[in-house]
Each structure stands twice: as C-alpha cells, then as structure tokens.
Structure 1
C-alpha cells in the first residue's frame, strides 16, 4: 500500500529528524506529498486555563520561536517546500486531525517516546493523535538520549 499524502507532526526539536526521515522513506514515489505540522499550544492550556496575567507577549515569543525553528527544519529538508508547512494554533490532537481531513492525508506520522506509568497517564501527543484520527497513524519510536 502506498500513501499519497503524509502529514508529519513535529515538535521542532532535533528529535523530529527520525520522524521526518521515516515519512520520507514511506513516500514511495516522487508524487507522494509530505506536509509538516507543528501545533502552537495556547499558553493558558499549560496552566489549566486559569492564568492571572496576560500571556500575549509570551505567546507571541512562542509563535516566533516556532516559526524560526520551522525555518531551520525547512532548510535542513529543502524538499519539504514552504506551502506544505503548517503552524496552527490550538490543541494538537484537534488541529492535526482537522488538517489531515482538510488536506486529504492518508497517513499521519508522529514521534513517540513510548512512555509508561505516570508519564503515560499524563498523556502524549502521539497517543492523542492516534485516537479518532481520520487516517492511518504511524508512531515512530524515539530513543531516549543518554544523560
């Protein structure tokens, strides 16, 4: 089975390299389209919504950093052209699912740290994306870096 449009969800760290490389391997032909997505989460979500201060300046800095990091990824992988890159703002699962539907993607590729126990209970983006996805999902196992 070959895929026609692969959506690669990245966290814009160096850990996204194996995820992008795996998606490129799965792109069986030059006609296979690869799109990148990084979801910028509202800062209020990290604080449970109750924030006694204005986070707009911090949120803008977060957005600017995401744009710069995405530029670096594009420079590293020039075949991933600019119009296939998405930086939506919102909840990762919802934004990734919505983008996959809109773009007609038939595979979503995400990185997974394979967490267990408490880390698993706290949730992970790869686990969230899997549930309710409009297409196939591949979780690429990311190795823990030695400390």
Structure 2
C-alpha cells in the first residue's frame, strides 16, 4: 500500500492540538507526505444566532489574527510553509472538506475528544468531517492534561 502524499491537519488550537499535530507529523514523516494545517473559525453571527445588535467584525478579525499567529507557531517547528497554513471562516466540517478537495489531500487528521452519550448523538466536528470526507480520515483521540 502506498503512503499518503498530502495530509490536512484540522486543529482547534486547544492545548491538546499538539497531540493531533504530533500524530500527523509522524504519519507525514513515515510516508513522505506534505502537510497543510487548518483552523476554522465559525462566524460570530453563526455562533450567536445573528441576533446581536452590534458589529462583531473587529472581534472576528482579532480572532482570525490570533488563530493565524498560533497556526504559524505550530507550523514553524515542522517547516510548513505559510501557503499551507489556513485560517478559514465558516462551518468547520464543510470548510475542511472543501480545503481537502481543493488541496488534493488524501488524508485528513483531526482530534476527537471521545464524547459519549448525548454529545455523541448530537455530533461533533470530528463526526461531521468523517461523514462527508472524500478521502481517509484519522480521528486522533486526545487526552486532556488531567487524564
């Protein structure tokens, strides 16, 4: 079986993101694949239902700038070029699918928090990515520091 050629790593930029990135970097190293990183920010109008009578564009811009800087720092250690670092605005699963297709990725690596019960039934970003992907998906089980 041939190895992967281009791995897209979806990061939520939490403390546990390093676990996902480490696993993806190992896979990329083992198969000689290139890596792209993505962080998706939901528009604040989505997050708050759009009923807030205030302009959130400045807050949105600050969130995007902070995410770009965090992604840049994560990519720096792995020598991932700027053009393969993506901070996008939209629905996470949809944007990851679109980016994976546009970038000809053959593997998507995301973190999974291992939700159970009602949270699992309601779905998660990982579940959404898995069910609509046109390529392989690896959900890395992340462990919280207190586990």
Q: CA deviation at 1:83?
A: 1.8
Query: Stretches of 4+ moved more than 6 A in 1?
Result: none
Whether contact under 8 Å (2:37, 2:75) holds in the other structure is no
1:68 offset after TM fit, Å? 1.6
Deviation of 1:112 after TM superposition, in Å, equals 0.3
- Cα displacement (A) at 1:120: 2.3
| Map of 2:37 onto structure 1 | 36
Q: Which runs of 5+ in 1 are unaligned?
A: none
Distance in 2 between residues matched to 1:48 and 1:128, nearest whole Å: 20
Shift in Å, 1:111: 0.2
Structure 1 position 8 matched with structure 2 position 45: no
Structure-2 residue corresponding to 1:51: 52
Unaligned runs of 5+ in 2: none
What is the distance in 2 between the residues matched to 1:121 and 1:50?
Answer: 27
RMSD: 1.6
- TM-score, length-normalised on structure 1? 0.90
- Return the offset for 1:108: 0.2
- Higher strand fraction (1 or 2): 2
Distance 2:144 2:78 in 1: 27
